[in-house]
Amino acid sequence: MTAVGGSATAAGPLRVLGFCDHFPPSSTGGGAERVAAETWSRLAADGFEVVVLAANPPNRGPRAGSADCNGVQVVSVPGLDLSAVTGAQVLVARGLLRRAREVAEEFAPHVLHAHSLHFQTTVAAARLARGRGVPLATTVHVAGIADLPLAVRSATALWERTVGRFVIQRSDALLAVSESVAEHAIRRGARPDAVQVVPNGVDVARFVPGEPAAPPVIAFVGRLIANKGPDVLVRATSQAVRAGADLRVEIIGDGPMRPALEAMVAKDPLLADRVTFTGFDPDVASRLATASVLVRPSTTEGMPLAVLEAMAAGTAVVATDIAPNRELISHGITGLLFPVGEVGALTRCLLRLVDDHGLRRSLAAAGRAKAASHSWEVATERTGAALAGLVADASRKTEVLV
């Protein structure tokens, strides 16, 4: 069995069995799921046959074996969403490995492709790879955990040193969404020769500049969980308004922190008519087109899609000074950076951008040029080549044994 054109074998299309929690993407998920959806749908369009085993909260996701998502068949297993308890995106699904074995038996994949070291579906993929001898590629999305809240950081570190290491050791290839993610994977035990960087993309035809609203809109896009830092933005907004800034804030997304954030806003009389919670909105492009600034106050990242999309939409970006953000943002050129968790520093960035229209335009123009170098087509091509390469390697090993 040899790969032909990266998407076919001598027996027909190259069959990929994907693994991802919270899939297809929705209000319960985050960036990893969106990266999976963007690349898998394009692989399917390129001639790959893709089936995805997903774990989803109850009443979310398709019925088992019933859904087609942009050319990708999705088999969903119900699970329990523990994010409200853990403060992180955690989902537990019973019977996942059993269902994975059933799907693999019926589908007979040439290669397995999992997303995120921290998803339960990825653990099922690693165990299935060991049991069936099918090559596994794992896309990793996190570059470091040093700035996470203590409880989440401790639990994540324990997971990465045990379960994460098992996944890394069982993976024939690790696809890192940024250089800093690749470095983190190697620190966690990945062989350097097994790691390759496949940067995230952005649809520059969809995310385009619009007419900024007045007064300036400060946007937050992402899940409302601790590691995304939405509370830091709310506190900085309060300080900026008290310092005289005329602005509005749109918090676009949903998650377990929403009630506490809404309570923070309700208690502050200066914020009640300035901060809007939109919930999950599938049309983020339209909101970014009219926003003046995107704030990304996260404690950990891989390569943030919200930042890439804001740049493409001509929206100035303010983000935390962590390694993955620095791969996209040069301070004062393509955006502004501030130290993790420092409300005062973020406040100063907001005041500066609200007052300086020229700086906003300059950052937005440079950011859009930066975003133009990121393409989902390139990400898909590299992912497909990596998967086809694993199939070809497995075929050669089989021929040698025979």
DSSP string, 133-197: T--EEEEE-----TTS-HHHHHHHHHHIIIIIHHHHHH-SEEEESSHHHHHHHHHTT--GGGEEE
Determine the average pLDDT of the residues in 223-245.
96
| pLDDT reported for residue 310 | 98
**Average pLDDT, rounded, for the chain:** 91
Amino acid identity of residue 383, one-letter, is T
How confident is the model over 369-392, as a mean pLDDT? 97
| Whole-angstrom distance, CA of residue 40 vs CA of residue 33 | 10
How far apart, in Å, are the Cα atoms of 316 and each of 235, 282, 349? 20, 21, 11
Residue type, 163: V
pLDDT band at 324 (very low <50, low <70, confident <90, very high): very high
Residue 131 structure tokens: 């049991």
Cβ-Cβ contacts under 8 Å for 248 (sequence gap 6 or more)? 213, 215, 216, 217, 218, 274, 275, 276
- Domains in the chain, please, with CATH? 8-200+375-401 (3.40.50.2000), 217-371 (3.40.50.2000)
Of 71-80, 184-193, 258-267, 308-317, minimum mean pLDDT range: 71-80
The pLDDT score that the predictor gives to residue 91 is: 82
- Model pTM score: 0.92
28 against 174, higher pLDDT: 174
Task: Give the 3-state secondary structure of residue 267.
Answer: helix
Averaged pLDDT for residues 295-302 = 96
Average the pLDDT over 157-181 and give the result: 96
d(CA 129, CA 136): 6
Per the model's pLDDT, the better-predicted residue between 7 and 176 turns out to be: 176
pLDDT score for 399? 59
Res 402: pLDDT: 44
Determine the straight-line distance between the first and last CA of the chain, rounded to whole angstroms: 13
- Whole-number pLDDT of residue 20: 96
